């Protein structure tokens, strides 16, 4: 089980006190005087990792050439063989643990990869920004000796089945509205801290990562004929907060951790380099069935507005029993900020909002607290442009380069969606089979046991945050 120690750190030996990290922190969790080393309030921190992405203070040449560099890498849980600068702001790594597990023949090693990984991993190997490499990624994971290569996108499709059904039920009953998404662990942690009285408004769905983790050790274990206790479940995520999420007490299935460990995109690249795998020249290979098959809707969870768009694609058809006229829902696509829209589902008028970046959520929370929030369904992503801009993604020092990368990754995600034969979660044949053979009905007894969760109140310790707004209509 991952450590309960803080995940985001600032190395006082390397920090110059520039406070760029404090400027991007959405919850004011970084304190310190200018020119002096900064510190992180672990309770307030939502572990989004944006401070890690923006930090430019790194180890000087004399440390790069010393044994101190290797010691620091080991202390951070990193692979000492990887030659790259050590920055002051960093997240605790798990690559060493995964490397040891991959060498253990007694374990059945399963890995899942988030939607945003396949549009960013290639950057670590010199390929153009946003290069889409799901096939090479699967091939690399097999060469790292994983026994099964599954996909978080499959869990995204399951999430839509559960969350979409939950939303329709709440709208028709008028209870616990608005409903917030619960896919982003940084947002969930912030909600538990900043607005614990509103936790009933969050969807009870676990994140796609945790859904896949639960299914790996139940449905997947039965498919593979493997003892669930021998499964070592790894998730590759663009998000530094996913390590916190997988260690939460409630993320267990029948006494077993659903996801044993999380590594970031950067850490996967380190493992591939450490193993001497020639990523660029790998052939394209498929994910394993059944938990590796996904729809286009599942793939767009990696961008802000993607959860909303996937939910509308399915929700429209579940409510109207008609084919949605347009699968490309531009009104929920965009960048950092708050976007709103009204969606006509037959006779039902659904008002939705998409929040990208936690600094924009405070106004919405205040509306809900005051009892006059106009929305039915609200997607919240902690990072500015969704998971493609996550704290565990490849590190780019220049602001202009980061923006270019985010746009390239988003374009690649949408292109991947458009090329899928199945683009709606409820039409994924592997999802249909999962519910027929194992889960039963969405929100039923088995899904409730495996795929839904509860939240806990945490001490309030955040400052009010401003918000912006845009509008749209379907």
Q: Active-site residue numbers?
A: 163, 166, 183, 203, 242, 245, 250, 387
In whole angstroms, give the CA distance from residue 367 to residue 352: 14
Which residues does 110 contact at the CB level (< 8 Å), separation at least 6? 146, 147, 148, 150, 216, 220, 231, 232, 233, 234
* Tokens matching residue 194: 């900043």
In whole angstroms, give the CA distance from residue 338 to residue 125: 34
- Neighbouring CB atoms inside 10 A of 92's CB total 17
Closest CA to 354 of 184, 101, 117, 115: 184
Specify which residues 39 forms β-bridges with. 31
Q: DSSP assignment, residue 193?
A: H
Q: Are 389 and 406 in contact (CB under 8 A)?
A: yes
- Neighbouring CB atoms inside 10 A of 236's CB total 27
Which residues does 370 contact at the CB level (< 8 Å), separation at least 6? none
Closest CA to 57 of 33, 78, 31, 36: 36
Which residues does 342 contact at the CB level (< 8 Å), separation at least 6? 349, 350, 351, 352, 472, 473, 474
In whole angstroms, give the CA distance from residue 62 to residue 195: 47
Q: Kind and range of the H or E element at 164?
A: helix 152-173
């Amino acid at each position: 089980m991952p450590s309960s120690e803080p995940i985001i750190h600032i190395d006082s030996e390397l920090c110059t006190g520039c406070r760029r990290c404090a400027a991007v922190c959405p919850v004011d969790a970084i304190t310190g005087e200018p020119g002096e080393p900064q510190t992180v309030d672990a309770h307030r921190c939502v572990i989004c990792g944006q401070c890690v992405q923006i930090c430019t203070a790194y180890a000087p040449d004399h440390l790069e050439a010393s044994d101190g560099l290797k010691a620091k890498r080991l202390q951070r849980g990193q692979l000492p063989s990887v030659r790259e600068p050590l920055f002051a702001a960093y997240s605790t790594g798990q690559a060493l643990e995964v490397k040891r597990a991959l060498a253990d023949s007694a374990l059945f090693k399963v890995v899942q990869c988030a939607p945003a990984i396949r549009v960013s991993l290639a950057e670590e190997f010199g390929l153009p920004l946003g290069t889409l490499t799901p096939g090479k990624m699967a091939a690399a994971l097999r060469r790292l000796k994983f026994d099964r290569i599954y996909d978080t996108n499959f869990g995204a499709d399951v999430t839509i089945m559960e969350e979409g059904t939950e939303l329709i039920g709440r709208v028709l009953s008028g209870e616990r509205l608005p409903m917030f998404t619960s896919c982003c662990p940084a947002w969930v942690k912030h909600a538990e801290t900043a607005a614990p009285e509103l936790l009933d408004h969050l969807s009870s769905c676990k994140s796609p990562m945790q859904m896949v983790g639960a299914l790996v050790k139940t449905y997947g274990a039965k498919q593979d004929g493997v003892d669930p206790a021998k499964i070592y479940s790894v998730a590759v995520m663009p998000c530094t907060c996913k390590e916190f999420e997988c260690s939460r007490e409630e993320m267990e299935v029948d006494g077993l951790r659903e996801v044993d460990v999380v590594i970031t995109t950067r850490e996967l690249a380190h493992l591939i380099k450490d193993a001497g795998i020639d990523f660029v020249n790998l052939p394209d290979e498929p994910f394993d069935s059944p938990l590796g098959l996904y729809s286009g809707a599942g793939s767009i969870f990696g961008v802000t507005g993607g959860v909303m768009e996937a939910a509308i694609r399915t929700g429209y058809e579940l409510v109207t029993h008609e084919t949605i006229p347009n699968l490309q829902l531009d009104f929920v696509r965009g960048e950092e900020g708050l976007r709103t829209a009204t969606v006509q589902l037959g006779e039902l008028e659904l008002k939705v909002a998409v929040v990208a970046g936690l600094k924009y959520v405070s106004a919405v929370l205040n509306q809900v607290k005051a009892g006059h929030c106009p929305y039915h369904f609200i997607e919240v992503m902690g990072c500015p442009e969704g998971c493609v801009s996550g704290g565990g993604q490849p590190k780019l020092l220049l602001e202009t380069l980061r923006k270019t990368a985010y746009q390239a990754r988003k374009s690649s995600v949408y292109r991947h969606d458009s090329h899928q034969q199945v683009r709606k979660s409820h039409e994924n044949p592997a999802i249909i089979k999962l519910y027929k053979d194992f889960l039963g009905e969405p929100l039923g007894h088995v899904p409730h046991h495996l795929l839904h969760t509860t939240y806990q109140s945490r001490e309030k310790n955040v400052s009010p945050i401003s918000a912006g707004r845009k509008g749209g209509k379907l």
